[in-house]
Chain A
Amino acid sequence: MTGYFLQAFIYLVAAVIAVPLAKRFGLGSVLGYLIAGVVIGPVIGLVGEETSVIQHFAEFGVVMMLFVVGLELEPKMLWGMRHRLMGLGGLQVVLTAVAVMAVAIWLEFQWSIALTVGLVFALSSTAIVLQTFNEKGLGKTEGGRNAFSVLLFQDIAVIPMLAFIPLLALPDLVDKAQLVATSAAQQHDEISLVAGLPSWAYAMVITAAITGLVVGGHYLSRPLFRFVASSGLREIFTATALMLVIGIAALMSLVGLSPALGTFLAGVILANSEFRHELESNIDPFKGLLLGLFFITVGAGIDFAILWQQLGIILLLTLGLMLLKALVLLILSVVFKIRKSDRWLFALSLAQAGEFGFVLLSFSVQNHVLPTEMVQTLSLVVAISMFLTPGLFIAFEKLIEPRYRVAKSERKADDIDELGTVIIAGMGRFGQVVNRLLTANGVKTVVLDHDISQIDVLRKINIKSYFGDASRADLLHTAGIEEASLLVVSMDNPDSATEVVKYVKKTYPQVKVLARAFDRGHAYMLRSAGADYIQKETLLSALELGADAMRCLGFHPFHVEQQKNIFRRVEKRSSDVLYQAWCDDSSGERFDNNYRKLFIELEETIKQEMVKDRSDKHATSERGWTPPPKGYDEILEGEEPIDSIPTIADGRITP
């Protein structure tokens, strides 16, 4: 037990120190984790032997990442990108594999070895690339989207590769292995449902598993989540999310499929669910930590002894590989018309080998396709190319992007920013009206509410909304607060509404926050929390009802309208003064004497303004619609206005 604590502590310390430092130097978190791994592994030697065990565990981070990726992809969207997925992704894998194979054959390797190495190197690192895209906000760019479809294709392509590679087994390697392995236990220490099944049964099991996943995900997930959500226990929802991911990963492993792909599929199935954002924010912290752990193990797994021995050849291979991959990607970017800075982003981001490379390499050793010594070297090539990737991103950011950015800024700005989305937190009676007005005008909104029955009602009338507690920072994050231009806070709980405003204005000052206030005091709290626009929820409707009352009493409708405007104007004018008084009374007792006095003054002002008339020098109420004094026009008779006005000294007119 003590050993585990110690190990966990070392890993966490390394991450806690290295990652913030790396971020501060603009290197990105991935490089931070990798460096942390190198430091605690090969450099200081605090960790070592258990790395491969932890790596298996950490690979679960990749599984979770694909689940989250799946959550963001609706099936419709996936179908929409099928051409790019197959065309761009397929060509990338085939061309890279062929190119690497050609080089390997030229180096006089056997064709089967060459082909396997080609397949291994055709893959890129989904983990590093997506994590970096996320951090740098590159995912929505043209280059980012294309890179994403290639990564997706690669992750799918791993499955046929796993099926295909054993066919390439080399007879002499098999012989050698059999000599060693006869006494040792068989490889099948892993639990498997499908071991020893005939192929037709195997196919049926797989079909059944996937069908179960799709059908279950579609029909069972919603009642399950609703049942859990109605308990109101946040940790149980988190547990459910974890249960789901782990369960699917287990099921896929049992039937011999890739867990990562299984969870990806589950994510896609759940992408349409109203629980999507809540699920994502529940999984996200686990995903982040496990991915970090994975990167650390990559760093820690670098075998410096072998690296020093073959430094030259490994570096040559790594750089050659990255150059080759970038070249293939550049050619594809020309064919698929990816332009400008996006072309470079596309080519540079995918020019490394990936984590599935490790999987394939160890798999090929097990299946006697590649010799062990060779795999050790190739693993280093994979690891180092991953290590160099953050550097490529930095190069892209510092060298390539600025060159294109200059050209971009010369373009005239668009009239309307259609891209900006609005997040509406709280879909009660208030938020709904806001949402209806916005969506009716073609504004895209993301709607959050923590009341599941409310979400149900909204779904029934075709309003897309998501279950989740908007006072949680992570949920706002997954709802896309970074890219949103407005946040409407219309949650029923005044305190959590204030908290949300405070958090968002502090963390994302560029987001305009519009908040609904419960009453005057809440309005002041929201204002001091930094809300940009505040409406008191009942003020305007109460004013309308008051106006109805006046009309019932026989006041002229237009007069009523004017008095309403005056009320609103005076209220607005005095609110600054009252707010100041409210702020000064920070003793906790908000309604002390000074404030009360000011409030009474406000009431008095409103009354005065209402009864003011023309005769008053400062009249504002009916100003402009009252006629001039009687007899004023007699002075104009027969005179030229321009000249006559200054010369009037007639006692009849009094100012």
Chain B
Amino acid sequence: MSEIKKRILLLLAHPSQHRSEVNIPLFEAAKSIEGVTAVDLYGEYPRFDINIEREQQRLIDHDIVIFQFPLYWYSTPAILKEWQDLVLEYGFAYGADGVALKNKLFLCALSAGGKEDAYKSQGYNHFTIRQLLAPLEQTASLTGMRYLPPLALFGARTAIEDNRMSFYINNWQRLLKALVEDRLDLRKAAKLDKLNDQLDSIIRGE
């Protein structure tokens, strides 16, 4: 049995789970990994009345925060924005006493409908995925968290048809395990545009 060195808080935001082909299987796969607390935000707060105390306590109890979501208009689904607006309070996440998140690790695991080629300056989306997530990167920075580039799954609408799912699930679980056991080369990882294809070079001791 491997050792749990870091605890992961995985926040899933998916408003249409009965249609999900990618995120829910990944979310389920994450649940099986020890050290991961998997939270379904739409499931817990169907009315958006987020319990701030509870969410802040969860942040305090974990070392790594992961947002998992399908990319909606180049950003997170609504509840994750609501969660940020409410939970990352002045005095908690930033400001004079706002040091609760300091030195925690933050990253996004997302699915995007478009092909990978679309996410570059020459593609029709014009920005890379890391560029598009700049608000989150800056949020991490202001709250004192260490930011990691996203694990991005492109072409999500055809992932099952192309038989890519088992590959993604495998990579996802490898990444989570490495994070829990503190085997990720953070310095190397932070420089990447996305974690996707570089797992072999940033995960140690496999």
**What is A's interface to B at a CB cutoff of 8 Å?**
565, 569, 620, 623-625, 628-629, 632, 635-636, 641-642, 645-646, 648, 650, 653, 655
Contacts and interface: CB of A to CB of B under 8 A. Distances in A.
B49 to A, nearest CB: 5
B47 A565 contact: yes
Contacts of B94: 628, 641, 645
A626 to B, nearest CB: 9
A403 B151 CA distance: 46
B183 interface: no
A340 B201 CA distance: 52
Interface string B18-53: 000000000000000000000000000001010010
Nearest to B146: A642
Contact of B87 (A624, A628, A629, A650): A624
A645 B144 contact: yes
Nearest to A645: B99
A152 B143 CA distance: 74
Contacts of A620: 52
B1 interface: no
Nearest to A568: B49
A303 to B, nearest CB: 66
Contact of B52 (A623, A628, A642): A623
19 contacts: A565-B47, A623-B52, A623-B86, A624-B85, A624-B89, A628-B90, A628-B94, A629-B95, A632-B90, A632-B96, A641-B143, A642-B102, A645-B94, A645-B99, A645-B144, A646-B102, A650-B96, A655-B96, A655-B97
B52 A624 contact: yes
Given A569-B49, A641-B144, A642-B102, A625 B85 contact: yes
A622 to B, nearest CB: 10
B158 interface: no
Given A565-B49, A628-B95, A655-B97, A641 B142 contact: yes
A641 B144 CA distance: 6
Contacts of B86: 623-625
Interface string B91-131: 10011111100110000000000000000000000000000
Given A641-B144, A646-B99, A655 B91 contact: yes
A653 B144 CA distance: 19
Contacts of B47: 565
Interface residues of B, number: 21
B170 interface: no
Contact of B102 (A565, A635, A645, A650): A645
Nearest to B97: A655
A645 B98 contact: yes
B99 A653 contact: no
Nearest to A653: B96
Contacts of B52: 620, 623-624
B198 interface: no
Residue among A565, A635, A645 with the most chain B CB within 10 A?
A645
A319 B92 CA distance: 81
Interface in B28-87: 47, 49, 52, 85-87
B166 interface: no
Contacts of A650: 96
B145 to A, nearest CB: 8
Interface of B: 47, 49, 52, 85-87, 89-91, 94-99, 102-103, 141-144
A569 B49 CA distance: 10
Given A624-B52, A625-B85, 11 more contacts: A565-B47, A623-B52, A623-B89, A624-B87, A624-B89, A628-B90, A635-B96, A636-B142, A641-B143, A645-B96, A655-B91
Contacts of B49: 565, 569
Residue among A620, A642, A655 with the most chain B CB within 10 A?
A642
A565 B90 CA distance: 23
A629 B91 CA distance: 10
Given A623-B52, A624-B86, A645-B102, A632 B95 contact: yes
A648 B94 CA distance: 12
Residue among B96, B98, B99, B144 with the most chain A CB within 10 A?
B96
Contacts of B87: 624
Nearest to A643: B144
A635 B96 CA distance: 9
A534 to B, nearest CB: 19
A648 B96 contact: yes
Nearest to A654: B96
Contacts of B91: 655
B43 to A, nearest CB: 14
Contacts of A623: 52, 86, 89
A636 B95 CA distance: 9
A654 B76 CA distance: 33
Contacts of B90: 628-629, 632
Nearest to A644: B144
* For the complex of A and B, 4 pairs with smallest distance between CB atoms: A624-B86, A628-B90, A653-B96, A642-B144
Contacts of A655: 91, 96-97
Contacts of A636: 142
A650 B96 CA distance: 9
A620 B49 CA distance: 11
Contacts of B97: 655
Contacts of B102: 642, 645-646
Contacts of B96: 632, 635, 645, 648, 650, 653, 655
A413 to B, nearest CB: 13
Nearest to B51: A569
A634 to B, nearest CB: 12
A653 B85 contact: no
A650 B97 CA distance: 12
Contacts of B89: 623-624
A628 B92 CA distance: 11
A645 B144 CA distance: 8
Contacts of A569: 49
Nearest to A416: B18
A645 B102 CA distance: 9
Nearest to A649: B96
A636 B141 CA distance: 12
A458 B95 CA distance: 61
A655 B90 CA distance: 10
Residue among A623, A624, A646, A655 with the most chain B CB within 10 A?
A624
Contacts of A624: 52, 85-87, 89
A632 B142 CA distance: 13
A459 to B, nearest CB: 33
A10 B52 CA distance: 71
A649 to B, nearest CB: 9
B81 to A, nearest CB: 12
A506 to B, nearest CB: 32
A419 B131 CA distance: 49
Nearest to B138: A641
A648 B96 CA distance: 7
A565 B51 CA distance: 12
